[in-house]
């Protein structure tokens, strides 16, 4: 006697649940394949003075990653479709980047990201989960090594750290690095850019981390999960009053997951070097000033709440 009413209750309940999931974006079928995500405000926690762009990586593979905040700078894919997976931070999804894939914006299309000059500061925030132990995995920035057009960048997994007092380097292992160049090319007397902060924490594979790289005209700093990842003589990396290199009209592009290396065969097609980041990226923000330690901590706390809500 009660079988049909019970079934109706079950169907109606399921429909209400599906409607609720769709309204919150928590359902994997909520986004149509051809949906265009409009430009929209950044989350309040990230909408701090100096914000240039924030990307939350909720788009499906094959679509430009649209930025929030003052500037609508879409990231475009290279070397195949970068798929999204249901494991996110600022939403239910993140982008899953395979080795040798990356995203970029042409330099001329993102002037606000071309941070440079004698008074320049920057902050790069990134939520990542790497899946490889490869060395020198690049996360984001404006960084062309082969044509001496380095500006700023966030890296992980470098195998060397620099002592700011002597510019000598010693062994490192899967740590975070906040980079800035005043020359664009190699640090004078050295074979590469040695001006970077290195955190103390070994970053494990297949684990979400919130990383921050800042420069405030006093020092470079690397943060891990909302805290300054202090390492004596390496983080903070004292580098007072240094200008950030100006690449001019023909400098490097803004790139994510691979350095800008225009002399790669086919750039921006398929690079021939097995470098770059692989894993998931769940958020990326860039500011034209250095966020304070308190602000970095608050952003981390807010993103942890968001991430838990997507589990």
Closest CA to 142 of 240, 258, 233: 258
- Does 34 fall in a domain? no
My answer on whether 22 and 146 are in the same domain is: no
Instruction: Among 78-82, 125-129, 203-207, 290-294, name the one with the lowest average pLDDT.
Output: 78-82
| Predicted pLDDT of residue 47 | 95
What residues make up the domain containing 18?
1-27
Q: Residue 265: its pLDDT value, please? A: 54
Give yes or no: residues 23 and 67 share one domain: no
Please report whether residue 286 resides in a domain: yes
Reading the block at residue 96, the tokens are 């899953």
81/6 same-domain check: no
- CATH code, domain with 87: 2.60.120.200
Residue 19 has pLDDT above 90, yes or no: no
The answer to whether residues 17 and 147 belong to one domain is no
- Are 171 and 210 found together in one domain? yes
Residue 37 lies in a domain: no
Q: Is residue 84 included in any domain, yes or no?
A: yes
Q: Are residues 7 and 86 in the same domain?
A: no
Structure token pair of residue 225: 């999960």
Asked if 79 and 223 sit in the same domain, the reply is: yes
At residue 311 the predicted structure's pLDDT band, cuts being 50, 70 and 90, is low
**Residue that wins the pLDDT comparison between 265 and 197:** 197
14 and 73 in a single domain? The answer is no
Task: Specify the number of domains making up the chain.
Answer: 2
- Is the pLDDT assigned to residue 209 strictly greater than 60? yes
For residues 7 and 100, state if they share a domain. no
Examine residue 212 and state whether it is found in any structural domain, yes or no.
yes
pLDDT bucket at 267, cuts 50 / 70 / 90: low
Can you give the pLDDT at residue 25? 39
The answer on 280 and 137 residing in a single domain is: yes
Cα 267 to Cα 53: distance, rounded to the nearest angstrom: 24
Nearest to 142 by CA among 278, 277, 245, 283: 245
38 lies in some domain: no
**Which DSSP symbol is given to 244?**
B
In a domain, 32, yes or no: no
Is residue 154, in this structure, part of any structural domain at all? yes
Could you tell me if 68 and 12 lie in one domain? no
17 and 127 inside one domain:
no
Question: For residue 36, with 0-12 CB atoms within 10 Å meaning exposed, 13-18 middle and 19 or more buried, which class applies?
Answer: exposed
Mean pLDDT estimate for the chain: 87
Is 278:132 a contact under the CB 8 Å cutoff?
A: yes
Six-digit token pair at 108?
């001329």
How does pLDDT run across 99-114, given as a tens digit for each residue? Answer: 889 999 999 999 999 9
- The span from the CA of 2 to the CA of 210, in Å, is 52
């Amino acid at each position: 006697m009660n079988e049909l009413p019970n079934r109706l209750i079950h169907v109606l309940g399921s429909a209400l649940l599906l409607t609720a999931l769709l309204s919150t974006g928590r359902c994997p079928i909520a986004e149509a394949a051809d949906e265009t995500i409009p430009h929209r405000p950044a989350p309040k926690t990230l909408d701090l003075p100096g914000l240039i762009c924030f990307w939350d990586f909720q788009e499906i593979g094959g679509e430009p990653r649209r930025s929030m905040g003052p500037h609508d700078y879409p990231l475009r894919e290279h070397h195949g479709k970068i798929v999204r997976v249901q494991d996110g931070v600022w939403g239910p999804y993140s982008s899953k980047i395979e080795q040798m894939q990356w995203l970029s914006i042409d330099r001329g299309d993102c002037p606000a990201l071309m941070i440079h000059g004698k008074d320049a500061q920057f902050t790069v925030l990134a939520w990542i989960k790497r899946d490889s132990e490869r060395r020198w995995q690049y996360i984001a920035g404006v960084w062309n090594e082969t044509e001496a057009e380095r500006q700023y960048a966030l890296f992980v997994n470098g195998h060397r750290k620099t002592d700011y007092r002597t510019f000598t380097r010693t062994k490192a292992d899967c740590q975070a690095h906040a980079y800035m160049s005043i020359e664009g090319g190699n640090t004078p007397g050295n074979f590469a850019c040695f001006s970077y902060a290195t955190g103390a924490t070994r970053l494990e594979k297949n684990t979400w981390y919130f990383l921050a790289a800042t420069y405030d005209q006093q020092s470079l700093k690397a943060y891990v999960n909302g805290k300054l990842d202090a390492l004596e003589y390496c983080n903070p990396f004292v580098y007072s009053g240094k200008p950030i290199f100006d690449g001019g009209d023909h400098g490097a592009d803004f790139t994510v997951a691979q350095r800008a290396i225009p002399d790669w065969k086919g750039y921006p097609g398929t690079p021939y070097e097995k470098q770059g980041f692989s894993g998931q990226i769940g958020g990326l923000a860039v500011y034209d000033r250095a966020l304070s330690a308190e602000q970095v901590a608050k952003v981390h706390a807010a993103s942890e709440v968001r991430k838990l809500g997507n589990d």
